[in-house]
Structure 1
Amino acid sequence: MKDFDTNGQRPPGAGERELRTSIARLALGTSPVSTLSMLNDWALHLATAPDKQIALGRQAQQNWSRWLRFVATGSPAAPDTWAARPKQGDRRFRDPRWAKPPFAAWAQAFLLAEEFWDAATSDVPGLTPAHDAAMTFLVRQILDAAAPSNFLATNPEALARTVETGGRNLVHGAVSAAAYAQRAFRKARKRPSKVVGRDVAVTPGKVVFRNHLMELIQYSPQTATVHPEPILIVPAWIMKYYILDLSPENSMIRYLTEQGFTVFAISWRNPGAADADLGMLDYLHQGPMAALDHICKATGAETVHGTGYCLGGTLLSVAAAAMARDGDARLASMTLLAAQTDFSEAGELMLFINESQVSFLEDVMAAQGYLEADQMMSAFQMLRSNDLIWSQLIRTYLLGESEAEMNDLMSWNADSTRMPARMHSEYLRQMFLNNDLAAGRYRVDGHAVSLRNIRLPIFGVGTETDHIAPWKSVFKIHDLGHADVTFVLTNGGHNAGVISEPGHKRRHFRIHTRRDQDLTLTPDDWLDAAEMRQGSWWPAWVAWLAARSGEKIKPPKIRGALEDAPGTYVKME
């Protein structure tokens, strides 16, 4: 492939990247310079902060004394006698056997170490906020790897299971580890258990348009009449579109058709090395803009409700800003599902994104033409390493449990896609590093676009435990445009919070509308003002869409069908 910069030009010395690429591969795409710079910044500032050193010394002495008293009293099981408590959400030491010696002593030593190192890497005078957060994250990863729950000799659950099974759990774990190593050696991914078009993505429809980057699916109407404004769904292209069309009972697309809407969805191509030079503007023009052209021409609709999920929502926001600049009024509303438009506070994912890290990642992508899905998914997993890495390893390799059968969401998660090198470089630099879209510097077709030009009604959705697009970052759409914003905060994470169908157990959400002329609300102010409701947020969204739609008409015919849904691109590996 050709080397590139963010303007699509071949940079000087591009043919001399082989050495840097080799280093990047050896470092698994992680910049050692970035890590060393962070460590150096932390160490130097800590060395010149005697008050902080004294406080840490005092805390170390107190922790040591607390642990010795705990051990000297026989490591009592009563939780109120513990020297330290696990953080909220930490489930590693929930089993009652962790409250008995000697395991209680090991658990307490670990929790006290967590307390100390959290203090040692936080609030160091003069340390940049980015390095403060990164050091805390790095130490947390090291401690998580060294937790007593990860080792047979110090894990009472694993020891008890070994006794119960006569060691069969360890044999089963060894077989699982060998199978994993074999897959890793062959660079083979775990296969999804659900078949696309048979088990998932089964809502009836037709592929009605196709270009190099996407197929456009029009779904069959489920009601005698429909609202005249179709819905266009723009999913992220890091994963397959059918996250919004899983099983029939939790398919958002099926639900929308059952509520009297004509639904179109973009199904992105899985790019390869030949697509390395495709950029963000290619995705814009061949994605939502091409889809809008076809929808309006084929159905006769004057306006369309745009819906974007995650990265697809960011792209839809770019499209809406460009259309506002150019006087294009074909969008009736915009819905953003866990989608960021301002990346100034994009959560812990920012720990992986700085100039040095992006440069290293570009070296990796320059060699292969794309970013492998596994390379990005590993970063997402590290954000929740206890839940997504270590707990699974414990269950599989120490407890000897068979890998749980994939449900539809897990199967979709295993069906990931690649990212073209140029596009991903532009996305990281222009959004995460420079925050160009929020600052009004993002250029479409040679001219800047501004979210402040958007006058559309906006429906935004954030999820409480989102580690990819934190809800307070998603919330920033309130202050970026001149629009009425109805915002929903639902329980769940980045995916499970969005796939929250009616009837789903233990679901709740908060909702509040802030008019353009209203006073600015901080996220905390919004929480105070928002109404708490039980159940799924989907009906509230459908009611919001219907209130901004015309009187119902006969469903538009599906014209120019190329093949049945879900199409060809979604099945590309």
Structure 2
Amino acid sequence: MSAESSVAEENGARTDKAAEWPLPDLAQMQHWTWLIGRMQQKMLEFGLKGLGATPGTLATDKLAMPAMPALPTPDPAAFARSQESFWAESIALWQRFLDPAAAAAAAPDRPADRRFAAPEWQGHPLFAMIRQSYELIAEHMLKGVDTLDGLDPQQREQIRFATRAFVDAMSPSNFAGTNPQVIARTLETGGENLLKGLEHMLGDLERGQLSHVAEGAFELGRNIATTPGQVVHETPLYQLIQYDPTTPKVRTVPLIIFPPWINRFYILDLNPAKSFIRWAVEQGLTVFVVSWKSADADMAGVVLDDYVKAQIDAIDTVREGLGVEAVHAIGYCVAGTTLATTLALLEARGQADKVASATFFTAQVDFAQAGDLKLFVDDAQLDMIRQLSAENGYTDGRYMALTFNLLRGRDLIWNYVVNNYLLGEDYPAFDLLHWNGDTTNLPAAWHLAYLTDLYRDNKLIKPGAVTVDGTPIDISRVRTPAYVQAGREDHIAPAESVWKITEHFAGPLRFVLAGSGHIAGVVNPPSAGKYQYWTNDRKVRSFDAFLRGASETKGSWWPDWLAWLLPLSGEEVPAKRARIPGKGRLKAIEPAPGRYVRMR
């Protein structure tokens, strides 16, 4: 048989096969024409609206993706080996595709990937081929980073991060034409999913931020941040909230919580079942929480000194308001870094006894192993942040949200692109996701100094390298009893980085490693019965040694923290007068959660 006749026969077979597909009737053609017209209309309306938008409204106007470093020349020998391996595996892949009977046995085992959980990715020859081709290319692109010459470790990790982000973006699961679930949903709904997804996408473009939860699903004081209390003190930088006692007696030493100003404080008060604040109150503690103000133009010059002085002001306000000598303090994430700075300043001034104990939730003081966030602190990234904040004097919180989402782009970006934009699913009513999208702005001067002095130059561990309010500090002199909690899967403050607090403080310490990550590892109430934590009562010199000798306990670490705290908390006193918000020296200003947490 000639080549021409073979092609003609194949074309005829295709024609016969295509004839099996029924032609759409008039009603179907009208529907798809209407659908395409509606999508075009929505995009046109959005484009016209964008033309009249004010600067900062659209995502593309002010927010930028982290830049990828220029690629150097690969090492010839390593590149040749990589190419040889790639083509060998490509040929093996095509052989499996051409011999489906042997494909299952020959296919390499890979870890479970939720992007390809639909059975078609495994069982349908075409989609299995698409998936395996993507996995092969992705694997070799990431391996190719190791073949590049002339890179220092920071540059190599930046390129690896950017390559991984690109690989995740190019997954066939992210495109309507190559995702079998999207194709099935489109046929099932007559394309309504794409129309609904387009509405979601255009709304997000207008907000300049990827949405995870439907707008209006949560309201502060109604179904989130509901623990009863009063704002009892206010400065231009923060509000201080005191919570109503729920026990007849409380411990003498009160507790003050410093949440990160990168996020809203109610991560610790999402709902009654998850609220660390409510739980702490129920344990007989008098609880105060700082609610930071989202930065505006008036806060352009706010720096580390201002946050340290604010923490000291809050500590003194509680001490004087309740008539006590000392407080317990908790610092979460960046507020924990600042709390360590505060403790060092109090130590230098001979005032360390103002704080009876310090607890650190996923906080870092030594940034030598600070994880992927260190990839955002080279000169190019810092210049970009400087430009982003030059106009208003603050860094738009949406940029920070994008940065944190990029650290887990597969889960926090592309998962929602597929669900919200392609499948057109309704947004879930999930309080944690609402909090994640409730961004705050950061003072420009503080943000740049924090990234430069701490993340890049790691000055906090160098005695005298950081001066606060005119006083050089040394965190190695901190003797305050400390409870240090880290998350085993934390991608923002890696556990081995949090551990380093134990290598610098001079006082008694307890280190606890919680299951899960930066949020779920902290917000894990005992009633949930989830995860676990590890402790090691032996004196060890490294994080690896801690892990080797650690004992695992199922459930929440909160009771372990309480057992550590209570012996330092003094006697019980009646929960009356100053222990009730507004009934002592500290007068009620407004009900919790206050107005600062609502400011944008």
What is the TM-score normalised by the length of structure 2? 0.84
Offset at residue 275 of structure 1 (A): 1.3
Q: State the distance in 2 between where 1:519 and 1:103 align.
A: 51
- Is residue 2:183 matched to residue 1:145? no
In structure 2, relative to structure 1, the CA distance for the partners of 1:295 and 1:253 (3 Å cut) is: same
In structure 2, relative to structure 1, the CA distance for the partners of 1:457 and 1:114 (3 Å cut) is: same
1:431 corresponds to which of 454, 458, 462: 454
Determine helix, strand or coil for the equivalent of 1:116. helix
Contact 1:123 / 1:132 at 8 angstroms: preserved in 2? no
- Is residue 2:185 matched to residue 1:165? no
Offset at residue 352 of structure 1 (A): 1.5
Offset at residue 31 of structure 1 (A): 6.7
Offset at residue 27 of structure 1 (A): 8.6
Give the aligned partner of residue 409 of structure 2.
385
Determine helix, strand or coil for the equivalent of 2:553. strand
Q: State the distance in 1 between where 2:236 and 2:101 align.
A: 65
Give the aligned partner of residue 242 of structure 1.
266
> Structure 2: which amino acid aligns with 1:526?
F
- Is residue 2:57 matched to residue 1:60? no
Offset at residue 426 of structure 1 (A): 1.4
2:568 corresponds to which of 530, 548, 552: 548
1:449-472 alpha-carbon deviations (Å, 9 max, x no partner): 111101122111111222211111
1:10-56 alpha-carbon deviations (Å, 9 max, x no partner): xxxxxxxxxxx9xxx87944575xx3xx324xx23x2xx33312321
Which consecutive unaligned segments of at least 5 residues does structure 1 have? 1-20
2:331 corresponds to which of 308, 330, 335: 308
> Structure 2: which amino acid aligns with 1:120?
G
Q: State the distance in 2 between where 1:77 and 1:402 align.
A: 37
Determine helix, strand or coil for the equivalent of 1:427. helix
In structure 2, relative to structure 1, the CA distance for the partners of 1:552 and 1:543 (3 Å cut) is: same
1:431-484 alpha-carbon deviations (Å, 9 max, x no partner): 111111122311112232111101122111111222211111111111011122
Contact 1:84 / 1:111 at 8 angstroms: preserved in 2? no
Give the aligned partner of residue 151 of structure 2.
127
- Is residue 2:70 matched to residue 1:39? yes
- Is residue 2:353 matched to residue 1:322? no
Q: State the distance in 1 between where 2:321 and 2:481 align.
A: 25
Contact 1:75 / 1:101 at 8 angstroms: preserved in 2? no
> Structure 2: which amino acid aligns with 1:525?
A
1:81 corresponds to which of 106, 116, 122: 106
Contact 1:208 / 1:217 at 8 angstroms: preserved in 2? yes
In structure 2, relative to structure 1, the CA distance for the partners of 1:27 and 1:549 (3 Å cut) is: closer
> Structure 1: which amino acid aligns with 2:146?
S
1:48-84 alpha-carbon deviations (Å, 9 max, x no partner): x333123212222222222122212128663x43246
1:283-313 alpha-carbon deviations (Å, 9 max, x no partner): 111x210011111111121121110111111
Give the aligned partner of residue 524 of structure 1.
544
In structure 2, relative to structure 1, the CA distance for the partners of 1:50 and 1:454 (3 Å cut) is: same
In structure 2, relative to structure 1, the CA distance for the partners of 1:54 and 1:75 (3 Å cut) is: farther
Contact 2:358 / 2:481 at 8 angstroms: preserved in 1? yes
- Is residue 2:220 matched to residue 1:207? no
Offset at residue 327 of structure 1 (A): 1.1
Contact 1:221 / 1:262 at 8 angstroms: preserved in 2? yes
Describe how 1:81-480 pairs up with structure 2 within 5 A: 81-83=106-108, 85=110, 87=111, 90-99=113-122, 100-122=124-146, 124=148, 126-184=150-208, 191=215, 193-285=217-309, 287-328=310-351, 329-405=353-429, 407-440=430-463, 441-480=465-504
Q: Which has the larger radius of gyration?
A: 2
> Structure 2: which amino acid aligns with 1:562?
I
Contact 1:75 / 1:104 at 8 angstroms: preserved in 2? no
- Is residue 2:590 matched to residue 1:563? yes
Determine helix, strand or coil for the equivalent of 1:199. coil
Contact 1:122 / 1:133 at 8 angstroms: preserved in 2? no
1:134-164 alpha-carbon deviations (Å, 9 max, x no partner): 1111111112221111122211111222233
In structure 2, relative to structure 1, the CA distance for the partners of 1:191 and 1:513 (3 Å cut) is: farther
In structure 2, relative to structure 1, the CA distance for the partners of 1:192 and 1:409 (3 Å cut) is: farther
Contact 2:401 / 2:437 at 8 angstroms: preserved in 1? no
Give the aligned partner of residue 8 of structure 1.
none
Contact 1:192 / 1:411 at 8 angstroms: preserved in 2? no
Which consecutive unaligned segments of at least 5 residues does structure 2 have? 1-55
In structure 2, relative to structure 1, the CA distance for the partners of 1:224 and 1:144 (3 Å cut) is: same
Contact 1:365 / 1:421 at 8 angstroms: preserved in 2? yes
1:485 corresponds to which of 509, 531, 535: 509
Offset at residue 315 of structure 1 (A): 0.9
Identity %: 35
In structure 2, relative to structure 1, the CA distance for the partners of 1:174 and 1:29 (3 Å cut) is: closer
Give the aligned partner of residue 5 of structure 2.
none
Offset at residue 563 of structure 1 (A): 2.3
Q: State the distance in 1 between where 2:62 and 2:165 align.
A: 17
1:72-115 alpha-carbon deviations (Å, 9 max, x no partner): 2128663x432462x56x31112111012101111111111121
Offset at residue 123 of structure 1 (A): 6.2
In structure 2, relative to structure 1, the CA distance for the partners of 1:76 and 1:552 (3 Å cut) is: farther
Q: State the distance in 2 between where 1:535 and 1:181 align.
A: 40
Q: State the distance in 1 between where 2:63 and 2:396 align.
A: 12
> Structure 1: which amino acid aligns with 2:462?
A
Q: Which moved more, 1:161-170 or 1:312-321?
A: 161-170
Q: State the distance in 1 between where 2:390 and 2:186 align.
A: 48
Q: State the distance in 2 between where 1:139 and 1:434 align.
A: 26
Determine helix, strand or coil for the equivalent of 1:232. strand
Q: State the distance in 2 between where 1:507 and 1:130 align.
A: 33
Q: State the distance in 2 between where 1:396 and 1:195 align.
A: 22
2:556 corresponds to which of 520, 531, 536: 536
Q: State the distance in 1 between where 2:97 and 2:103 align.
A: 11
Contact 1:355 / 1:433 at 8 angstroms: preserved in 2? no
Offset at residue 175 of structure 1 (A): 3.0
> Structure 1: which amino acid aligns with 2:599?
M
Q: State the distance in 2 between where 1:62 and 1:524 align.
A: 39
Q: Please give the root-mean-square deviation of Cα atoms over the aligned residues, in Å.
A: 2.4
Determine helix, strand or coil for the equivalent of 1:215. strand
Q: State the distance in 2 between where 1:474 and 1:121 align.
A: 28
Determine helix, strand or coil for the equivalent of 2:261. coil
Contact 2:340 / 2:475 at 8 angstroms: preserved in 1? yes
Contact 2:475 / 2:505 at 8 angstroms: preserved in 1? yes
What is the TM-score normalised by the length of structure 1? 0.88
Contact 1:371 / 1:418 at 8 angstroms: preserved in 2? yes
1:310-339 alpha-carbon deviations (Å, 9 max, x no partner): 111111111011111111121111100011
Q: State the distance in 2 between where 1:59 and 1:84 align.
A: 17
